[in-house]
Amino acid sequence: MPATDASVAVRAIITGHTRGLGEALADTLLARGIAVLGLSRRAHATLASRDGTPFEQAALDLADSEQLAQWLGGNHLRRFIGDAQRVLLFNNAGVMQPIGPFDAQEPAAVARSVILNVAAPLMLASAVANASERAADRRIIHISSGAGRNPYAGWSVYCATKAALDHHARSVALDSNRALRICSIAPGRLDTDMQAQIRETSVDRFPMRERFVEYKRTGTLAAPQAAAVKMIDYVLSDAFGASPTADLRELP
């Protein structure tokens, strides 16, 4: 496990920190002495009650681009980042809906998915890069998915949004900013609420439903905590950003 250099001031921003992978990322970072700012619609009571490492939260609906833009227009990020030498942004929040044939998707659900899964991460990435301009090391992590690299029937919107994050990372990497690294990471199949949502979807909306039921039955879903530890090890390593996209399962 890469040790965090105690002489380096590190700050981390995580979206969707109240459950699943986001919660595991926040818990692991705090345990390593890294200050965390969580962005989500709801507060996380347990993390907020921990002593020691600084932890802040902001109640934001990341699917509301106007609300997010207003918050980003304030001084919140710059104040949290302060004089940190290394800044991490985990764009973790996301939604799978709408699931089903594209001609049966509600326009409002499509818009919400695109804003939460794509617009919010891109807005945050730009804002964090700007607010941390004095930091010597800035690292942006998009939480992607295998669905962004392989198509699935019924997931047309979700697949498209995750592919967008991958391509955003590829494009930003071409900017050749030595103080900024970016990677869109597919974490693999994790035992989270999102997987439960998939299993509860009808076969007519998601033809591959039974395969995901089998993943749960056979215990092949990875624990979010284990994925968080491996991801943070990679993010803090010198190897991070060597490629703009990665699959967590293929990392050493």
Q: How many residues are present in the chain? A: 252
Query: Average of pLDDT values for 116-131?
Result: 97
- Could you read off the pLDDT of 69-80 as tens digits, one per residue? 999 999 999 999
Q: What is the pLDDT of residue 8?
A: 65
On the question of pLDDT at 7 being above 70, the answer is no
Does position 238 have pLDDT exceeding 80, yes or no?
A: yes
pLDDT at 124 over 80: yes
To the nearest whole number, what is the mean pLDDT of the chain?
93
With a cut of 70, say whether residue 1 has pLDDT above it. Answer: no
pLDDT score for 3: 44
What does the pLDDT average to over 174-180?
A: 83
Q: What is the pLDDT of residue 107?
A: 96
pLDDT for residue 252: 86
Give 165-177 as a DSSP string.
HHHHHHHHHTT--
Tell me the pLDDT tens digit for each residue of 63-108: 999 999 999 999 999 999 999 999 999 999 999 999 999 999 999 9
Rounded Cα gap, residues 27 and 66, in angstroms: 29
146-155 pLDDT per residue, tens: 999 999 999 9
Average pLDDT over residues 55-67: 97
State pLDDT tens for residues 182-205.
999 999 999 999 999 999 999 999
Q: Comparing C-alpha atoms, which of 247, 192, 249, 190 is closest to residue 220?
A: 190
The maximal CA–CA distance of the chain, rounded, in angstroms, is 55
**For residues 45 and 215, what is the distance between their CA atoms, to the nearest angstrom?**
31
pTM of the shown model: 0.93
Handedness of CA 193, 198, 202, 205 (dihedral sign): positive
- Domains of the chain in start order, with CATH, are 10-187+224-238 (3.40.50.720)
β-partners of residue 36 are: 12, 55
The answer on pLDDT for 248 being more than 80 is: yes
Provide the strand spans (E) within the chain: 10-15, 35-40, 55-59, 86-91, 137-143, 180-186, 245-247
Is pLDDT at 45 greater than 60 in this prediction? yes
Give the residue-averaged pLDDT of 174-181: 85
